[in-house]
Structure 1
């Protein structure tokens, strides 16, 4: 077994009381040195809030600022693209699970849990919480809240897309005492700490038993009657309205729902809201190295707008203090670069975790057997790849930023394989022709047909609202493929329909961004048929996961071999052995070339007001590593000079 302690370092000149606090020792002396935000002073003086020493746990998490000790105050302004844009809230407010990633994304470190131990068989994970943690309403946060979350989310009518509902490896909670509990899995689980450290880790710590049990019949016999009186057909629907899980939008519509984050709901995100806002949590359990309670910033204010043009104009006018989501596009970059002085902001670098600007996925499981056979033919995919002039796309769409690249781990990844990344990326019409001939296609006039002479027109589905540059990319690819004999039709559709077509199997191809460049193990969707985002083999992944059995199809042997390797990986407790297993999965992906990539993304950027400080540069940018949250926005501040 192993025990982990905090990675947050203390400066060499830190006082002994701070050091004792950081190491979990007594805090009686240091408690006299705690400082709080001025906005809380009056609340303490009039008795609305306890003294700061009573609000903090016995051993608050001591966080070293990126650059300097900050000053209190101010409002961080940003924007949401419509009322469903909960991912930005997850990236700014919600990243506080039991554990978390460090800023370098190379270590899992303590957070709400001050330490943990792992059994030798990787089945039992025992966590110890910080003593004296409190929800933002002042009630204790204990092991009972963890057990309640698992119990509730295990209910058939109360969904949660996390490890809690994994029928292949069920989990139970053993409460040892108020501060100590164990997650016990039926089978070894070597990846659970990564799950808990990712953006998904919020789920387990998001439900206060004291508050949410009032909606649960097991704890309140009147819960069903209360639900109907409130206008809900079932208690589950009432519970979800009041105590939604994880980062679903509805969670941010209830200001009464207790939170453990640096900021709590002030103006809720309702269906008609034009703005949502958050205010500092007076019970937040982190301090800086001088004992100042975090966060430094008082308020977060988010404009809710469906208009990208409006949000972009806000940033250009200096009305956004920090943001990258939605507006930091390639097309906007010259505008933002030129507008820095007028808008009093700066541009900082983001290193994307994505390994590709776009991935083209042909449907291996097409309901038309003839198309399914063609799309599963590796020679066909090689031919398509050789017809794509990636240098032209990079020059025209991305102003020369990036390089030709397949769906493969990024160069910064320990899994990087140059051969895998570069195979079939040369623009070579002759090689394409040879590959199509090997795939059994016949050139009849301008375009290839099936061997029986029937026409081959391939429709590629896309959603331009996700990445506006996809339109330009696909229009170029359409011209390039048609010049090489492949008849392409572009189908720009609604996002709902885009997803609905997947289980039906009646589509030729879809595109998406290239996830899994740095988070290779956690996001293998393009390397193997691992989940519902493996659009190229949607029915293979249904077979693998046991979901949608009515559409499941047995995969090819090489894909089944990958699945077996990944199952071993998930159960392996040794990180080095997990890496070796992942390399074998990648080797099979390299050999069988399931999807087609276009180009390695150039660095992204963020926009930050010049007086906003302690922001790291560059930032690694991902969703599972929910940038900017791992760079600790609670220690950002507005400089007074």
Structure 2
């Protein structure tokens, strides 16, 4: 069993973590861990990772962990979040801003000692863009010339075998030699270097995926016509088992005991290993927020997030009083929202979706249910972080994005909107009906988390109180939740989106028709066209205006999603750990962490 190192800190009497059930939960988490030396850094995540495959990771806790195991051409500076050299030590950009030539570090190595080559990026991007792989992030790479065409041609071919697949050598990425990668874009992109630090652009070790029969690359096929790669869903997990895993990040995967522990060890082959000061990291899945907090208080782990709402309120008060220095709460470039299934009655009607949105008191949720300085959402792009997204134009003038203030609480308007949609109230106390049929029972689905439960219960009460609707809430395990959402097997589901780069487009692109993150059944050609126009626009002010117009479609006119509040990063970091500080993207840069020596600040 992992030894718990008690610390001299206050465990507050007002918190229910002292209950026998929560203590038992903590003991069970620790008991599941095999006996071994405590890692230098122990992290308590809210969920187990479904995968460590960079092309299949989609949840925030998965992509954050993968960030320690893989590295792209660029990486993000832990302080500024701006792109800095990663695997690429340098690059040039053509005058028209469309062609990037990257020069890879000669010391960039895989964890097995083999060199990272330009071909490793080409191979990875082919797999990421292949719809047979099922990557939710593939659309992010459509900025690369003909990448979207390649993706679409495979989908069309699989639907009609007579239609040809576009050969991948027509896509704008090629290895000029072992250490030189040339990328051609569809159009200039001001944040392309930031995007390269994201999962769809990381390299992959092709021999591992071939040896484990997880994927077959296109040139492995003989004969004509050309076909794309083939993914093997029954084998893909084998490539990311500790026994087979090969990555190029600051850490390597040493062990993965499912639903118990993931252990990372410093990767001695990493090009910047001299500056990685943590030898081992344990990542534990701890679903219960009370257990996560109690474990932190007792020293079982050093880093965790999202304490229970009552705890978070008290911690915030103590920080303001100068009595705690290990709790951080700041605005994030992230939004908590509900998805509507736009293919299922009655949420297929945008008037119904608008009525449901108008009936939600977001301020009450933030102040009375959560109480951790969350900000009620007025649009999808979080306005508290717009300064972080500011851009300079060609004359050096600073421009700040202005999201449309679309969302408000108006229960009378909500009822009238339902009436306008054809529903009627026989008496004010009755539930609405149409053509003699009562309004269907609404179902809110959420994955296991106390905060999700509280929010769902509050929203259900508001819809019952203000609209007279019947509402059920359903809690399901994360993996089941994701599969149901992907298959549109839900009515209303809770969601969260953390921007992948510091730009308003990062919050809006997930809702295009070709995005794997959409999962609402909603597609609006006008919305897609506005975003495409914004991405092609070089003038900063005009680009921001186009993005705001698109956001208006999303949150005023169509409402496939219902933003509820903007996240604040509620993070607990042990004072024994240095190098970790919260940021607007809530990314823990574990390669920058270190354990303080006695007396070190």
Structure 2 residue corresponding to 1:425, chosen from 408, 422, 435: 408
Is the 1:355–1:407 contact (alpha carbons within 8 Å) kept by the matching residues of 2? no
For 1:231, the equivalent position in structure 2 comes to: none
Which residue of the partner structure matches residue 203 of structure 2?
A: 205
| Counterparts in 2 of 1:256 and 1:167: CA distance versus 1, 3 Å | same
Q: Could you give the per-residue CA deviations for residues 409-456 of structure 1, whole angstroms, max 9, x where no partner exists?
A: 2222256546x33x4523x44333433333332111323534423211
2:585 paired residue number: 621
| Alignment partner of 2:256 out of 269, 274, 288 | 269
Change (3 A) 1:599 1:189: same
In the alignment, which residue of structure 2 is the partner of 1:78?
Answer: 43
Count of aligned positions:
498
**Hey, what does 1:145 align to over in structure 2?**
120
**TM score, norm. by length of structure 1:** 0.66
Residues 144-543 of structure 1 correspond to what in structure 2 (within 5 A)? 144-150=119-125, 160-163=135-138, 166-168=147-149, 171=171, 173-184=173-184, 187-188=186-187, 190=189, 192-201=192-201, 204-207=202-205, 209=207, 214=211, 236=232, 240-243=236-239, 251=240, 253-266=241-254, 268-271=255-258, 274-286=260-272, 293-304=274-285, 310-324=291-305, 327-333=306-312, 346-356=326-336, 359-366=337-344, 368=345, 371=346, 375-377=349-351, 380-399=352-371, 401-411=373-383, 412-413=385-386, 414=390, 417=402, 420-421=404-405, 423-426=406-409, 428-445=410-427, 446-465=429-448, 467-494=449-476, 495=478, 498-499=481-482, 507-513=490-496, 515=498, 519-524=503-508, 531-536=515-520, 538=521, 540-541=522-523
Other structure's SS at 2:530 match: helix
In structure 2, relative to structure 1, the CA distance for the partners of 1:332 and 1:206 (3 Å cut) is farther
Change (3 A) 1:486 1:593: farther
What is the aligned partner in structure 2 of residue 603 from structure 1? 568
Any stretches of 5+ residues in structure 1 without a counterpart?
1-72, 224-233, 244-250, 288-292, 542-558
1:282 Cα offset (Å): 1.9
Q: Is 1:133 the counterpart of 2:108 in the alignment? A: yes
Cα pair distance change 1:336/1:603, threshold 3 Å: same
* Contact preservation (8 Å) 1:403, 1:601: yes
In the alignment, the residues of structure 1 paired with residue 380 and residue 231 of structure 2 have an alpha-carbon distance, to the nearest angstrom, of 46
Structure index of larger Rg: 1
In structure 2, the residue matched to 1:60 is: none
CA positional deviation for 1:493 = 4.3
- Kept in 2, the 8 Å contact 1:122–1:571? The answer is no
Give the TM-score of the pair, scaled to structure 2.
0.70
Deviation at 1:329, TM superposition (A): 4.2
Distance 1:74 1:636 in 2: 12
Per the alignment, residue 66 of structure 1 pairs with none
Whether the 8 Å contact between 1:397 and 1:473 is mirrored in structure 2 is yes
1:349–1:619 contact (8 Å) kept in structure 2: no
2 CA distance for matches of 1:601 and 1:310? 25
Matched residues in 2 for 1:282 and 1:471: separation?
43
Q: Distance in 2 between matches of 1:450 and 1:528?
A: 33
Say what the alpha-carbon RMSD is for the aligned residues. 4.2
Question: Which secondary structure state, in structure 2, belongs to the residue aligned with residue 481 of structure 1?
Answer: helix
Post-superposition offset of 1:129:
0.9
1:640 aligns with 2:598: yes
Q: Distance in 2 between matches of 1:492 and 1:521?
A: 32
Distance 1:212 1:511, change over 3 A: closer
Tell me the CA shift for residue 173 of structure 1.
3.7
Alpha-carbon shift at residue 492 of structure 1 (Å): 0.2
Structure 2, gaps ≥5 residues long = 1-37, 53-59, 151-167, 222-229, 391-399
Offset of residue 107 of structure 1: 3.2
Deviation track 1:609-635 (CA, whole Å, cap 9, x = no partner) reads: 21212333x42234xxxx012xx6335
Match of 2:26 in 1: none
User: Are 1:351 and 1:621, in contact at CA under 8 Å, matched by a contact in 2?
Assistant: no
